[in-house]
């Protein structure tokens, strides 16, 4: 991983070459990099800037305004991507399985009519009494696709939250698929008739319109976040029915990559756990060392105290007249010295 860029470095970079080129180098979209610059108050060249530069025009850069005294050099906002292409990560075995989807014997064919739908689709049909021709076609496509996935070892089940999505699982990995009519969304000017029929204020000028296209759209979603991973749209050249092997290939690829990410995450957690245990072990060893040192100091102090007591008792006995009371005192004092002395075993 390359060294991260600072705010000032990114400013210099966006005025050296087009954002589209920089975004590709750093694994971002053009819009994503633009938003990043916007959030950090980094001015970028206006539209047509690079064409004018290419034409030989000299255009002044917009100066970078400081946010504070340290932000330009210390605020890390971007790091260069070294992400590999997904196909480079795939194992030879997975590549071979995906390649099988192009073979004639593995071709998924949607018949003109079905005698029986997949159980999930049958439940959908029971709840949807006003089915259109497009709905019936979508149900037939999904039935054939789900049966093909089950034959390939995948587990399929109804999503617990979204009724229009189906979960595709292999081992611990999951993703979702759905199929629906593609809607064309655009803005339309609000008329007086719209204001009377709807709830539009006098300040609103446009309303959003969803127009049916009569084409099917099959989506593959990530399971946890519901992000669209891949879309397959009806076209004049190729219908959804002709793309089902490609759908299966993308499901195989996605679930394999999800598995790699899971194993990678598990390895990372194991490493962190081993590091934690090692730190705990080192801490316990350090605590043991400290405890032994304290014991050593305490023992040496007690040894000195014991010898001092003995020397003192000897001096007192030598200086005073022997008596029964002195004998008892000296005996008691020497016994205490022996108790303090770590060298003398009890």
Q: Burial level of 288, CB count in 10 A (0-12/13-18/19+)?
A: exposed
The H or E element containing residue 71 is helix 71-74
pLDDT for res 73: 57
Whether 27 shows a pLDDT value over 80: the answer reads no
Say if residues 181 and 217 touch (Cβ distance below 8 Å): yes
User: What pLDDT score was predicted for residue 75?
Assistant: 55
Q: Where are the domains of the chain?
A: 5-78, 86-266, 290-340
Q: Let me know: does 168 contact 255? Beta carbons within 8 Å.
A: yes
Judging by DSSP bridges, how do beta strands 173-189 and 228-233 pair with one another? unpaired
Q: Among the listed ranges 79-88, 254-263, 318-327, which one has the minimum average pLDDT value? A: 79-88
The mean predicted confidence, pLDDT, of the chain is: 88
pTM, rounded to two decimals: 0.62
The Cα 332–Cα 325 span in angstroms is: 11
Of 128, 138, 125, the residue nearest 214 (C-alpha): 138
Residue % of the chain over a pLDDT of 70: 93
Tens of pLDDT, residue by residue over 92-124, are 999 999 999 999 999 999 998 888 999 999 999
pLDDT, residue 234, reads 94
336 pLDDT exceeds 70? yes
| pLDDT given at position 84 | 55
Query: Which DSSP state fits 220?
Result: E
Of the listed ranges 32-41, 62-71, 153-162, 269-278, the least confidently predicted one is 62-71
> pLDDT at position 1, please?
39
Strands of 166-170's sheet in order across:
155-158, 166-170, 173-189, 206-222, 228-233
Contact 203, 238 (CB under 8 A): no
Q: What angle do CA 1, 78, 9 make, to 5 degrees?
A: 105
Say which residues have a Cβ less than 8 Å from residue 37's Cβ, sequence separation at least 6: 10, 14, 19, 43, 44
Q: What is the pLDDT of residue 26?
A: 81
**For the ranges 77-81, 128-132, 233-237, the one whose mean pLDDT is highest:** 233-237
At 77, the pLDDT band (50, 70, 90 cuts) reads low
CA–CA distance from 142 to each of 55, 180, 234, 277 (Å)?
Answer: 54, 11, 14, 50
In terms of DSSP bridges, do strands 5-6 and 76-78 run parallel, antiparallel, or are they unpaired? antiparallel
Average pLDDT over residues 76-93: 68
Top pLDDT among 245 and 8 is at 245
| Stronger pLDDT, 87 or 13, i.e. the higher one | 13
Confidence at 2, pLDDT banded by 50, 70, 90: very low
List, in sequence order, every residue forming a beta bridge with 187; answer none if it has no partner. Answer: 208
């Amino acid at each position: 991983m390359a060294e991260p860029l600072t705010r000032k470095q990114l400013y210099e970079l966006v005025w050296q070459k087009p954002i589209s080129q920089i975004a590709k180098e750093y694994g971002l979209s053009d819009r994503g990099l633009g938003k990043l610059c916007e959030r950090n108050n980094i001015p970028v060249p206006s539209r047509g800037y690079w064409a004018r530069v290419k034409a030989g025009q000299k255009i002044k850069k917009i100066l970078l305004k400081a946010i504070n005294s340290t932000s330009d050099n210390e605020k890390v906002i971007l790091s260069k991507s070294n992400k590999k292409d997904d196909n480079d990560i795939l194992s030879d075995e997975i590549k071979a399985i995906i390649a099988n989807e192009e073979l004639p014997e593995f071709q998924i064919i949607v018949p003109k009519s079905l005698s029986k739908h997949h159980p999930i689709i049958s439940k959908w049909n029971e709840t949807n009494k006003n089915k259109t021709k497009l709905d019936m076609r979508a149900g037939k496509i999904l039935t054939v696709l789900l049966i093909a996935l089950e034959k390939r070892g995948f587990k399929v089940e109804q999503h617990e939250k979204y009724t229009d999505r189906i979960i595709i699982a292999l081992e611990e990995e999951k993703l979702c698929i759905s199929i629906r009519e593609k809607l064309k969304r655009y803005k339309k000017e609000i008329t007086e008739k719209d204001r009377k029929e709807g709830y539009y204020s006098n300040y609103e000028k446009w309303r959003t319109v969803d127009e049916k296209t009569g084409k099917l759209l099959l989506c593959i979603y990530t399971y946890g976040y519901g992000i669209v991973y891949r879309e397959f749209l009806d076209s004049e050249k190729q219908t959804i029915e002709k793309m089902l092997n490609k759908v299966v290939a993308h499901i195989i690829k996605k679930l394999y990559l999800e598995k790699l990410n899971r194993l990678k995450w598990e390895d990372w957690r194991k490493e962190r756990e081993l590091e934690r245990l090692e730190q705990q072990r080192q801490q316990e060893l350090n605590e043991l060392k400290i405890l032994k040192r304290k014991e050593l100091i305490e023992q040496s102090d007690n040894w000195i105290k014991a010898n001092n007591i003995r020397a003192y008792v000897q001096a007192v006995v030598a200086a005073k007249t022997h008596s029964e009371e002195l004998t008892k005192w000296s005996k008691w004092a020497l016994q205490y010295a022996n108790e303090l002395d770590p060298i003398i075993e009890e």
